[in-house]
């Protein structure tokens, strides 16, 4: 993550961005799953990796959101 100083607003915006990316990759994955061949399988594998990475980022953001909410200065 580029910015280490997160506010609740920044976290919410970043979480929305990550969710949009995940949704886009899921749509792409659905398309790749309907195609045949090694190229489609390779693309599906890459998309699954990207989705997993973004889901891990989302979990980290949710953990930060809790920390920000519990911080005395918010």
Per-residue pLDDT tens listing for the chain (74 residues): 455 677 889 999 999 999 999 999 999 999 988 888 888 889 999 999 999 999 999 999 999 999 888 887 75
Residue 36's SS3 state is coil
> What pTM did the predictor assign?
0.80
Find out whether 43 and 31 touch, Cβ atoms under 8 Å: no
CA pair distance 40, 31, nearest whole angstrom = 9
Per-residue pLDDT at 1:
46
Rounded CA-CA distance 38/46 in Å is 12
């Amino acid at each position: 993550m580029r910015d280490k100083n997160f506010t609740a607003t920044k976290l919410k915006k970043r979480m929305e961005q990550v969710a949009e990316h995940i949704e886009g990759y899921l749509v792409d994955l659905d398309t790749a799953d309907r195609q045949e061949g090694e190229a489609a399988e390779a693309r599906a594998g890459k998309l699954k990796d990207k989705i997993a990475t973004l889901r891990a980022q989302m979990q980290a953001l949710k953990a930060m959101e809790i920390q920000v909410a519990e911080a005395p200065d918010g």
